[in-house]
Structure 1
Amino acid sequence: MATKLSTIGDGALWFWAKIRRQDLVDLCRQSAGEVLLTCMVPRDRAMLSHFGDWHSVLNESPLAPEIPGESDEELEARLNRMFDDFEDRLRAAGARDLGRPHWPEDLRAEVEQGWESILEPGNYGRFGSWQATKHELRADDVVGAVRLER
């Protein structure tokens, strides 16, 4: 965030930047009593990332970008092969239960190489929920609020 945003700060607030309506409705149904804010934020104050691919970073997993024309079944099979192969190589190196800083350099580099791509909307595939991360939320960023009820 420090290199991507025009703002500074220690905080990191998370927002939906793009989500299918039905997915948002489903999430809201699970959040009775919460308040849903609608915000308008200048692009230079929000770092976009692909929601699903962000979990590759959180899980210290390799990132597998989609291949144009690939079916859901082909994508799933390729992901399973890739993750199994990566896990096998981690185990063979004796590093499976170690944190990423202690992995062999080639495995660490393989995982880290994809991280920048999750910050570029042009790389997002068909599973397009985007998240935004900001240092702060200003009152004038909020354009609507609604209490969620069942």
Structure 2
Amino acid sequence: MPNFPVTSARADRAVPAGRFGYDLKADRLLLHTFQPEEALEELQSAGQLIPDPSRAEPLFADAYAWMFREMDRRLPTSGDGALWFWARITREYLVDSSRRHRGDVLLTCRIPRERVLLSHFSDWHRALGCTPHVLELPGESEDDYGARLDRIWDELNERKRAAGVLHKGFREWPEDLRRDLERSWEQFLDPSTYGRWDTVQATAHVLRAEDVIDAVRID
């Protein structure tokens, strides 16, 4: 049987006080996830939680499919979907999220680093929008970065126009164009590019009961 504690708390008290001490280089990463009550029941009865791919937003199917492929390529595990976690987030944000997750369960976990794929939360939206991710170069000014970004966008639109897909969805683009865009997204999977205070998310194929250190039902 799982041996992690399960408690209940109001939304404003579900998150403990103080700093969490996130360390993205740790052997076991400190992670948080909000899950429905049935997920807790699955952890308690089956000893593990696996994702339900049908919960992925259909509007962003291409971005999710890419993330799933990257997980299969980079992680020793496999699966049909992903469980999503916060790997570095402010306490204030977790408290605010708890207010939106009344009736759910906040799980605090420590998962071995090799079973987790980290990604930059804000930059992940480049994949959701099927747009290029462009890192700033060391020492690059804001104006120089803006000019370079404009050139990249102009080149992308010209390639789309030449392929006859300027106003068509991502999956209708030529394979080489999709591949180049996806290659730019790989940069936000690299923790060495993250700023000290950047919000970081994580995905995993499975959550095991022994990974969970605390569970709080949010009243």
> Is 2:117 the counterpart of 1:47?
yes
Q: State the SS of the aligned residue for 1:52.
A: helix
Counterpart for residue 25 of structure 1 = 95
CA spacing shift, 1:92–1:119, aligned 2, 3 Å: same
After superposing the two structures, state which structure 1 stretch, 36-45 or 123-132, moved more.
123-132
Where in structure 1 are there 5+ consecutive unaligned residues?
A: none
CA contact (8 A) 1:11 1:136 kept: no
> Is 2:166 the counterpart of 1:96?
yes
> Is 2:126 the counterpart of 1:56?
yes
Amino acid at match of 1:57: A
- Whole-Å Cα distance in 2 between the matches of residues 32 and 147 of structure 1? 8
- Whole-Å Cα distance in 2 between the matches of residues 137 and 114 of structure 1? 29
Match of 2:146 among 78, 97, 105: 78
Amino acid at match of 2:146: R
Matched residues, percent identical? 50
CA contact (8 A) 1:9 1:135 kept: yes
Q: State the SS of the aligned residue for 2:124.
A: helix
> Is 2:190 the counterpart of 1:120?
yes
- Whole-Å Cα distance in 2 between the matches of residues 13 and 45 of structure 1? 11
Structure with the higher helix share, 1 or 2 = 2
1:89-131, Cα deviation, whole Å (9 max, x unpaired) = 4674442332324335664354222122111100123661111
Amino acid at match of 1:4: R
- Whole-Å Cα distance in 2 between the matches of residues 12 and 85 of structure 1? 34
- Whole-Å Cα distance in 2 between the matches of residues 145 and 30 of structure 1? 17
Higher relative contact order (CA 8 A, sep 6+): 1
1:48-87, Cα deviation, whole Å (9 max, x unpaired) = 111111111121100022455779xx49x939x6486467
Q: State the SS of the aligned residue for 1:125.
A: coil
TM (norm. structure 2) is: 0.55
- Whole-Å Cα distance in 2 between the matches of residues 100 and 126 of structure 1? 32
Root-mean-square deviation (CA, aligned residues, Å) is 2.9
Counterpart for residue 137 of structure 1 = 207
- Whole-Å Cα distance in 2 between the matches of residues 88 and 116 of structure 1? 21
TM (norm. structure 1) is: 0.77
Amino acid at match of 2:93: D
